[in-house]
Amino acid sequence: MKNVVIIGGGITGLATAFYLRQYVHPTVQITLIDAASRLGGKIASAYENGFVVEGGPDSFITQKTGALALCRDLGLSDQLIGSNRAAKTTYVWNREQLHSIPEGMMLMAPTMLVPFLRSRLISWPGKLRMGIEMFLPARRNPSDESLASFVRRRLGKEALEKIAAPLMAGIFAADPEKLSLQSTFPMFLTMEKQHGSLTRGILQKKRAQDSAPVQPGPKPLPPPMFMTLRGGLQQLVDAIVQRLQRETILLNRGVRSVIRDHDRYKIELSDGSLLWADEIVFATPSDVTAKLLWDLNPVLAMKLRAIRYVSTATVSLGFKRGDVHLPLNGSGFLVPHSENRRITACSWSSKKFNHRAPDDCELIRVFVGGARAEALAEQDDAALIDLARQELRAIMGITAVPVLAKAYRWPKANPQYDVGHPARMDEVDQIVAWHHGLHLAGAAYRGAGIPDCIQSGMKAAQAIAKNLATSEVTYKEARVSVSV
């Protein structure tokens, strides 16, 4: 009988276990181990007085199909909800006012002239600077560069400070001066290379889409950009766990060490017990994986240790509807670092998604910390809630006492894809390939969002199924429902 051990029961480890069970012979023994008392890792939904509060992620992007496909594979299609199309505008706090990001911005490049010209977020010199992007020469040097350097070079300082940097703080909790462009937005590099300019690349893509032959019949609406589940993302975790009936799940037991023992892996748990595995998946944060791999391959461990993590926190506040005056068409706002405030972003959760608050209430969630203000995220719950209330009073004028207040701290939880990350990942992959049966998956490597984590778990499951097939265990052809 073959044994597979998956270390880490966040969404990566759970997805690995779920897909693996579909790919391998029923006799393969799968064990999932987590140091915590619950599965789900950073996915943590709470239910209180009719509110659905997300402590960690609140949704997933649909452009990358991994999460949507997994929800469908789990029979959760009727539980999926999309971000409200009416709340698609995002605002930016600038000079004591909320300004909407102009319609037609593709991340940071304008594609629609009128809304861009009308926007009061960017000054006229800033608009002019962004407008000349299409006439600037392309960079010749093929090496990785920071996102900040790219945006400054192509679109100017104002686009960086008011749009790109706050977006990156929101998505990656990152400092754009350190963030690798190749790891995060490789399509911008490709556009620059192929079209000489971002704006030209985006416009050409739009033109090609507009001139594509129209299929007869009504055009199906694309899925909303972000989706989640009616009962919060915990529903995804619960649905996977329900399917893992034949697997051994060990909670409250951290892995203490992993060594090679002849042709198997010997795993020691925190309670002193031992397990042996033919195939092993590390679905733990890379700093934990680095410690566990030290005896096996110190060079690999050092490469993993070099991936930095930063701390963040979220604070969710529920208010009576009459106490909050939200713009009607928004999903929330970003706060540029240059504004010297103590939050990086705010989601109007109950505007963004339905089923998040009782009918007479609104749910608001603020983000604290990240690469440029880590210390703020390390305060205790009461201080975080106080900070969130003060910031919402200053920015949104909310003075009422919240009917719900919940803080979540995420110490060293967000991996940072620093400049040079793709090259480091190539080296990591090469070293991992020397170790038969060793697999790394999760947010630290090639995509930090939930769909990326699921995709990496699925890839690990496929690789294991192939290894086991070549070692005489029946390999059921992988039912690949995710486009890679």
Ligand X SMILES: Cc1cc2nc3c(=O)[nH]c(=O)nc-3n(C[C@H](O)[C@H](O)[C@H](O)COP(=O)(O)OP(=O)(O)OC[C@H]3O[C@@H](n4cnc5c(N)ncnc54)[C@H](O)[C@@H]3O)c2cc1C
Nearer to ligand X, 45 or 462 (CB): 45
Is 33 a residue that touches ligand X (CB under 6 A)?
A: yes
Phi-psi region of 197 (alpha: psi -120 to 50; beta: other; left: phi over 0): beta
Strand arrangement, sheet containing 345-347:
97-100, 89-94, 330-334, 345-347, 361-369, 309-320, 404-415
Q: Read off the tokens for 170.
A: 């929101």
- DSSP codes, 84-132: PGGG-EEEEEETTEEEEPPTTEETTEE--HHHHHH-SSS-HHHHHHHHG
> What is the nearest approach in angstroms of ligand X to the Cβ of residue 282?
9
Is 370 a residue that touches ligand X (CB under 6 A)?
A: no
The piece of 41-49, 135-143, 212-220, 377-385 that touches ligand X (CB under 6 A) is 41-49
Contact 195, 396 (CB under 8 A): no
Is 469 a residue that touches ligand X (CB under 6 A)?
A: no
Q: Read off the tokens for 414.
A: 């967000």
> What is the nearest approach in angstroms of ligand X to the Cβ of residue 342?
16
Give the end-to-end CA distance of the chain in Å, rounded to a whole number.
31
* Whole-angstrom distance, CA of residue 310 vs CA of residue 149: 21
Nearer to ligand X, 67 or 191 (CB): 67
Judged by CB under 6 A, the residue of 254, 327, 358, 422 near ligand X is: 254
Judged by CB under 6 A, the residue of 45, 83, 94, 414 near ligand X is: 414
Is 249 a residue that touches ligand X (CB under 6 A)?
A: no
Is 60 a residue that touches ligand X (CB under 6 A)?
A: yes
By CB under 6 A, the count of residues binding ligand X is 36
Q: Looking at the DSSP assignment, which residues form a beta bridge with residue 93? A: 98
Is 389 a residue that touches ligand X (CB under 6 A)?
A: no
> What is the nearest approach in angstroms of ligand X to the Cβ of residue 113?
31
User: CA angle at residue 456 from 455 to 457, to 5 degrees?
Assistant: 90
Nearer to ligand X, 110 or 285 (CB): 285
Neighbouring residues of 26: CB distance < 8 A, sequence distance ≥ 6: 246
Is 314 a residue that touches ligand X (CB under 6 A)?
A: yes
Nearer to ligand X, 9 or 201 (CB): 9
Is 3 a residue that touches ligand X (CB under 6 A)?
A: no
From the number of C-beta atoms within 10 Å of its C-beta (0-12, 13-18, 19+), residue 367 rates as buried
Contacts with ligand X in 424-453 (CB under 6 A)? Answer: 442-443, 448-450, 453
Query: Comparing C-alpha atoms, which of 413, 170, 173, 181 is closest to residue 286?
Result: 413
Is 344 a residue that touches ligand X (CB under 6 A)?
A: no
Judged by CB under 6 A, the residue of 2, 42, 406, 424 near ligand X is: 42
> What is the nearest approach in angstroms of ligand X to the Cβ of residue 200?
30
Is 232 a residue that touches ligand X (CB under 6 A)?
A: no
Nearer to ligand X, 105 or 255 (CB): 255
Judged by CB under 6 A, the residue of 94, 312, 349, 467 near ligand X is: 312
Is 41 a residue that touches ligand X (CB under 6 A)?
A: yes
Nearer to ligand X, 159 or 482 (CB): 482
Q: Read off the tokens for 432.
A: 């991992």
Helix (H) or strand (E) holding 330: strand 330-334
Rounded-to-10 torsion of CA 290, 296, 297, 302? 20
Is 374 a residue that touches ligand X (CB under 6 A)?
A: no
* Whole-angstrom distance, CA of residue 440 vs CA of residue 384: 34
Nearer to ligand X, 50 or 254 (CB): 254
Is 482 a residue that touches ligand X (CB under 6 A)?
A: no
Nearer to ligand X, 122 or 304 (CB): 304
> What is the nearest approach in angstroms of ligand X to the Cβ of residue 268?
11
Query: Comparing C-alpha atoms, which of 131, 121, 130, 118 is closest to residue 100?
Result: 121
Neighbouring residues of 66: CB distance < 8 A, sequence distance ≥ 6: 15, 450, 451, 452, 453, 454, 455, 458, 482
Q: Read off the tokens for 19.
A: 């897909």
Q: Can you list the alpha helix ranges (DSSP code H) found in 121-184? A: 124-131, 147-155, 157-159, 165-172, 181-184
Nearer to ligand X, 194 or 248 (CB): 248
Half-sphere exposure of 191 (CA within 13 A, CB side): 21
Is 346 a residue that touches ligand X (CB under 6 A)?
A: no
Nearer to ligand X, 284 or 467 (CB): 284
Nearer to ligand X, 300 or 448 (CB): 448
Is 7 a residue that touches ligand X (CB under 6 A)?
A: yes
Judged by CB under 6 A, the residue of 10, 126, 232, 330 near ligand X is: 10
Is 458 a residue that touches ligand X (CB under 6 A)?
A: no
Nearer to ligand X, 150 or 367 (CB): 367
Is 57 a residue that touches ligand X (CB under 6 A)?
A: yes
Judged by CB under 6 A, the residue of 56, 156, 170, 318 near ligand X is: 56
Q: Can you list the alpha helix ranges (DSSP code H) found in 234-325? A: 234-243, 286-293, 298-305
Query: Comparing C-alpha atoms, which of 181, 180, 176 is closest to residue 192?
Result: 181
Binding site for ligand X (CB under 6 A): 7-13, 33-36, 41-43, 56-60, 254-255, 283-285, 288, 312, 314, 410, 413-414, 442-443, 448-450, 453
